[in-house]
Structure 1
Amino acid sequence: MKKKKQVKANEGLKSQQEQLTLKDTLNAGILEQLKEKQKKLKVEEEAKQAAAEQKKREERRRREKNKSFEELLNESNMDWEKYK
């Protein structure tokens, strides 16, 4: 009889532990700190991506600016043989 009660008690304890989440077990202050840290990291990541995109655009602009006439002519879609 004791074993059955212990098994039932253990099952009840396991179900309570399964229902608890990290949010329930952490202090509210710590949870808020983690949320703020997550927001900061997200903002920093977005800033890094924006800076990388700006750098790519600037590099593309410089490359286009430094192209020779021959390179520009080769990239042109027009059929220059028609105008010879």
Structure 2
Amino acid sequence: MKKEKKPELKEAMNDELKSKLFEMKNQLKSEEEEKAQKRKEETIMRKKEAEQNKSFEELLNESDLNWKQYKS
């Protein structure tokens, strides 16, 4: 007795439909990559903006220098 091979979905779809689905997949992938890049750029901009808006006290507190040795 031979086992009948069940037709797979990819065999049942025509080539045009396959190509459209692959094209949609690639388009969605590129859109997701663009969104991720934009989020990354926005995060960098927010960090730079926060750094520029720091007060003098915050900058001194973050400094690794021992400011007491410069105090007279």
Matches within 5 A, 1:4-83: 8=1, 12-13=3-4, 16-17=5-6, 20-83=7-70
Cα deviations by residue, 1:1-58 (Å, 9 ceiling, x for unpaired): xxxxxxx35xx11xx12xx443222111110000000010011001100110111111
Bigger-Rg structure (1/2): 1
Dislocated runs of 4+, deviation >6 Å: none
Question: Number of matched residues?
Answer: 71
Shift of 1:80: 1.1
Structure with higher helix content: 1
Q: Structure 1: give runs of 5+ residues left out of the alignment.
A: 1-7
SS in 2 for 1:57: helix
With normalisation by structure 1, the TM-score equals 0.77
Q: Structure 2: give runs of 5+ residues left out of the alignment.
A: none
Over the matched positions of the two proteins, sequence identity in percent amounts to: 37
